[in-house]
Amino acid sequence: MFSDDLVAFRAEVRAWLESNRPKWRFQPYYTEDGLAQHLEWEARLFAAGYSAPGWPKEFGGLGLDHWHQLIYDEEYARLNLPERVNKMGLLHGGPTVMAHGTPEQQEAWLPGILNNSDIWCQGFSEPDAGSDLAGLRTTGRIEGDQLVLNGQKTWTSFGVIATKMFALVRTDREAPKHRGISFVILDLDTEGVEVRPLRQLHGHAGFAEVFLTEAAVPLANVVGPLNEGWRIAQTSLKLERGMGRGTHTKMLRTVDEIARRLGADPDTGSLERLGSHRAWAFAYEQATYELTDILSRGRDEGALPSVLKLRLSEILTGIREEERNLLGERAEQIPAGPPEAPLPPTQREYWHARAGEIYAGTTEIQKNIISETALGLPREPRP
């Protein structure tokens, strides 16, 4: 399936990652020691040119095409290497600036993402505008050459360590719902910005909510035309829901690990269910390859990113539920420790899988996109 060139590239990447991989498991990135460990690893990737291999060479990447990027992601996932702490900038924010930003914005912001002197987070979700993204209430008021922001962002991944946020703000209250929105980059140390850590159900403390009170940012930080942020955001959303970033590799590895670690009993049906989950993981892998082929040919991917996002959350939830079935009552055991201690890995991964039905667009949102854009069904009535 893979060309000789891709096979050779896989061997090259595999050799480097295996030789340079961390020798121990990192602390969570939201702790002081953990952040230092992650940044040291990121610096090693950057020095080797592996910080963002798919970025164009003019922006500091290796200029890899979609298939080479997929190979890199598969090898990274296969070794279960540390989560990329700047993935919001590397995968969503940075490419959006490449696509829609001015040369001055690209020069000012992209190097900091690559070398991790700036950690980016995404400011899309709000308390009353999560799935209904266009229902956002955070406003941007133009005063001279500044945009004065007021509002609240929430469920902000990496918000506790980020230095910059790309956010959507409403800059024209009289415009229709999906217009009058602007896409803006702001420094999180701006006066009037307050970041509050949020502890999640699965024990992860990397979330934050961000409050904006008369926070003034330069108008020059608006990416794309003023009031056309909804169109700009579609680039970021497609990037978030689309390419697997090794997700298919992680999914297959997880099923195999559970099968090896816990076994299965044909009499209880668990063997059949594990087999079914692995078949779905394989199908997800093949769909990822199909998307990679579509992108490499420069074709429109249509609703396929939404199909992948929908199936991703459903497959992962099914795998983790089967793990809990196999564990039985052991699935509910919590080791002795303080109440604020992180959940055991099995419980943490289960709740994280369940969150997949919400983050990056809920299951209902993905079904609407698929039904309307791929199947041509009538649009759901909007308020």
Q: pLDDT for 344-379, tens place per residue?
A: 788 888 888 888 888 877 888 889 888 988 888 888
Residue 287 has pLDDT above 70, yes or no: yes
Rounded distance between C-alpha atoms, residue 256 and residue 167, angstroms:
39
Is 104:222 a contact under the CB 8 Å cutoff? no
pLDDT, residue 229, reads: 92
> Is position 240 annotated as part of the catalytic site?
yes
Rounded distance between C-alpha atoms, residue 45 and residue 205, angstroms:
25
Rounded distance between C-alpha atoms, residue 46 and residue 51, angstroms:
4
pTM: 0.87
Residue 18 has pLDDT above 90, yes or no: yes
**Per mean pLDDT, which range of 59-63, 135-139, 234-238, 338-342 is the poorest?**
338-342
pLDDT, residue 73, reads: 94
Mean pLDDT of the chain: 89
Percent of the chain with pLDDT over 70: 95
pLDDT, residue 379, reads: 82
Phi, psi of 105 (to 5 degrees): -65, -40
1-5, 9-13, 265-269, 348-352: which has the highest mean pLDDT?
9-13
Close Cβ partners of 99 (under 8 Å, ≥ 6 residues apart) = 235
pLDDT, residue 349, reads: 86
Task: List, for residues 47-91, the tens digit of each pLDDT value.
Answer: 999 999 999 999 999 999 999 999 999 999 999 999 999 999 999
Q: How many CA within 13 A on the CB side of residue 115?
A: 8
Token pair in block for residue 317: 């939830």
The Cβ of residue 379 has, within 10 Å, a number of other Cβ atoms equal to 9
Question: Alpha carbon 112 to chain centroid distance?
Answer: 19
Among 42, 240, 322, 323, the active-site one is 240
The pLDDT-based confidence of 382 (bands split at 50, 70, 90) is low
Rounded distance between C-alpha atoms, residue 26 and residue 244, angstroms:
23
**Per mean pLDDT, which range of 116-120, 211-215, 250-254, 340-344 is the poorest?**
340-344
The pLDDT of 192-196, averaged and rounded, is 96
